[in-house]
Structure 1
């Protein structure tokens, strides 16, 4: 997640305030999402709003949120499931199927 926000800021020159305004979020929320610290689970609406502000697909931002949580502090108890549930909630069946393929691929790479 932090990498997506950092790259967007570098390519556009936009600050946290502008990104937050376009996403309908507080600047503090965007800064928290951009921090290298372990993320908290975000509601799908927040991730989708951030995706819009960054000009990205909501699916990409949801998967980035999942990957950020998954990599934080060695899979802290329950965090991945919490973020996965929030990220995938409300996706249409075809997107759920695509997410399953991505997750299976990631699982195989770790083996």
Structure 2
């Protein structure tokens, strides 16, 4: 029993960590532009997962993934305290789906390249 509770607690924590990662600047681009006196100036640009996905016009999918992660956190947290098997199976399914969608969106967001 303690192993199951620990696994659901771990699922809730991982889901809670995935949510802020959508809003953290994970991606970095560097633009080099000529200045007024002819010297090259370097500009650093930082983007979130949602910024990069909006370049692909699929930003609403990121918000759906955030909602899936939030539901997963709630279900996993309640599964720690409840003994209901239907709830635990539902929590497992939501956690697996939300983690898969998160990693697919992370992969898609990492493919964006901006030319400066």
TM-score range, shorter chain: under 0.3
How high is the TM-score relative to the length of structure 1? 0.25
How high is the TM-score relative to the length of structure 2? 0.24
Would you tell me which structure has more helix in proportion to its own residues?
1
Would you tell me which structure has more strand in proportion to its own residues?
2
Q: Relative contact order (C-alpha < 8 Å, sep 6+): which is higher?
A: 2
